[in-house]
């Protein structure tokens, strides 16, 4: 059933909140511990990652300006390389979304254990609460894109507060001692190996910069709004990440940060008291819930666009009277629920971690495909964009290859297997579309 009532669309502010909110999840609150051993190399890693993210944001902005179609990466790749290529990229990207969402939901609920210890001590309670949160936010998205956008805006504003607090605290500390507390810079310790390793890790924090391109048909004036939201969101998030993570890594002893299970909370607690550190955990949970809300929106919009394009089961092409892809949302959340339960089966823990590795690789492949799509479409004269787009697209493609290389051989190999696994779905959907048209 198609919409029979006016649908409120997402404007620039909500689209920007979607980008920032999807990029800033609960994972950023643990990242300093992973980056701490790299010291100053991690700062250079952030700079490289942010630069690469800005190039990709420029690419997505140019593509959405010329092809403001629902599905984002799926639509762009299909325009450049045809239906099968579009499907394969979207197939792996869709899987990366709902698998990654399961991890986001699990992590967000974990932060609540600071206030509700029973979440970590009572067998199965964590899983029950996680699944409840998943379906609550699925319900919010089923009620309409504008409502989901409103939730995203509020949670995004809340989630950046503790990050800004850490940045301000870092500035106060440096200002108070004239920079004496900053880890000394030793040029001899800076090398390409640690920088590459750090940049590979920091890239995970930027996944989601393409978020505004997926629900293009629900965006007001998409040819202007999506490019602006994508670039603005990328820059805002990059600046916040760079300064917030750097403050912790450079102002705390390396061993202390590396061993911390909550580096942001520990940093704040050390200078502002234990109570402040405790409440930061609440904001970390809000951050995770906000990211989950935005990603649930995408996990419904993407298969809906694919189904409308005839490369996914037609069942998922239907929308409600509110013009929301309820069927696609429910199917995706059912799969996500399955992954959450899989994580709580101790014998399957390693399998869950392995699937997460595949999901990240799938996102990197999508970035590579979209960069190549922009390059091909520009060279074919099918895009209106500055001449420099071709150079930026080429650099962005090389950056994506570099990031994929950093993910490791195993991830790339199994990522290829994931792509091939989607072929039967594609051919069955195409067959059903032909049969349907023949009737």
**What average pLDDT values come out for the chain (439 residues) when binned by 10 residues?**
57 89 78 86 91 92 90 90 89 84 80 76 80 93 83 85 88 86 86 84 82 87 92 93 90 84 80 79 82 88 88 87 90 89 59 60 86 93 89 90 76 77 83 69
Q: Which is nearest to 109 in space by CA: 350, 342, 340?
A: 340
- Per-residue pLDDT at 437: 67
Q: Is the dihedral of CA 353, 354, 355, 358 positive or negative?
A: positive
In a domain, 5, yes or no: no
Distance of CA 96 to the CA centre of its chain: 10
* Bridge partners, 10 (sequence order): 219
Kindly state the DSSP code that residue 252 receives in the 8-state scheme.
Answer: S
Give backbone dihedrals phi and psi of 113, rounded to 5 degrees, phi first. Answer: -65, -20
Identify the three-state secondary structure at position 219.
strand
Q: Look up the CATH number of the domain holding residue 258.
A: 1.20.1740.10
In a domain, 407, yes or no: yes
Give me the residue label for tokens 């909370």.
265
Contact between 385 and 62 under an 8 Å Cβ cutoff? The reply is yes
In a domain, 365, yes or no: yes
In a domain, 7, yes or no: no
- Per-residue pLDDT at 384: 87
In a domain, 3, yes or no: no
Contact between 300 and 63 under an 8 Å Cβ cutoff? The reply is no
In a domain, 312, yes or no: yes
Which range of residues forms the domain containing residue 93? 12-434
Interatomic CA distance for residues 431 and 423, integer angstroms: 12
In a domain, 2, yes or no: no
Number of domains the chain contains: 1
Read off the pTM. Answer: 0.84
Judged by phi (left if over 0) then psi (alpha if -120 to 50, else beta), residue 5 lies in beta
In a domain, 354, yes or no: yes
Identify the three-state secondary structure at position 67.
coil
- Token pair recorded at residue 40: 């100053």
């Amino acid at each position: 059933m198609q919409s029979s009532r006016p649908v409120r669309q997402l404007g620039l502010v909500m689209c920007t909140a979607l980008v920032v909110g999807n990029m800033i999840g609960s994972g950023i609150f643990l990242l300093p511990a992973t980056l701490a051993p790299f010291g100053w190399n991690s700062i250079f890693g952030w700079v490289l990652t942010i630069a690469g993210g800005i190039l990709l944001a420029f690419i997505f902005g140019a593509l959405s300006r010329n092809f403001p179609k629902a599905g984002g990466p799926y639509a762009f790749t299909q325009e450049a390389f045809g239906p099968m290529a579009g499907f394969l990229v979207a197939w792996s990207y869709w899987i990366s979304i709902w698998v990654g969402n399961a991890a986001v939901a699990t992590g967000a609920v974990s932060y609540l254990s600071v206030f509700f210890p029973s979440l970590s001590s009572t067998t199965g309670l964590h899983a029950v609460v996680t699944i409840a949160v998943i379906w609550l936010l699925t319900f919010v998205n089923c009620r309409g894109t504008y409502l989901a956008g409103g939730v995203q805006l509020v949670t995004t504003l809340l989630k950046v507060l503790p990050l800004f607090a850490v940045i301000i605290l870092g500035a106060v500390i440096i200002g108070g001692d004239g920079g004496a507390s900053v880890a000394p810079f030793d040029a001899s310790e800076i090398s390409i190996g640690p920088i590459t390793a750090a940049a590979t890790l920091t890239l995970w924090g930027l996944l989601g910069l393409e978020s505004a391109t997926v629900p293009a048909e629900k965006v007001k004036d998409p040819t202007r709004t999506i490019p602006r939201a994508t670039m603005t969101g990328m820059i805002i998030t990059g600046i916040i990440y760079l300064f917030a993570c750097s403050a912790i890594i450079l102002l705390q002893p390396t061993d202390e940060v590396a061993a911390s299970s909550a580096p942001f909370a520990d940093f704040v607690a050390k200078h502002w008291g234990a109570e402040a550190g405790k409440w930061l955990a609440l904001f970390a949970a809000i951050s995770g819930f906000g990211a989950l809300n935005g990603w649930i929106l995408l996990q419904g919009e993407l298969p809906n666009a694919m189904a409308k394009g005839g490369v996914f089961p037609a069942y998922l092409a239907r929308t409600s009277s509110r013009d929301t892809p309820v069927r696609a949302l429910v199917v995706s959340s059912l799969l996500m629920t399955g992954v959450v339960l899989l994580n709580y089966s101790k014998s399957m823990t390693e399998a869950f971690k392995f699937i997460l590795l595949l999901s990240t690789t799938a996102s990197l492949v999508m970035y590579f495909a979209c960069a190549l799509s922009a390059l091909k479409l520009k060279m074919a004269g099918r895009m209106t964009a500055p001449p420099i787009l071709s150079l930026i697209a080429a650099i962005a493609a090389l950056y994506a290859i570099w990031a994929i290389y950093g993910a490791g051989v195993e991830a790339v190999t199994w990522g290829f297997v994931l792509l091939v696994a989607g072929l039967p779905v594609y051919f069955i959907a195409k067959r059903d579309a032909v049969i349907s048209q023949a009737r």
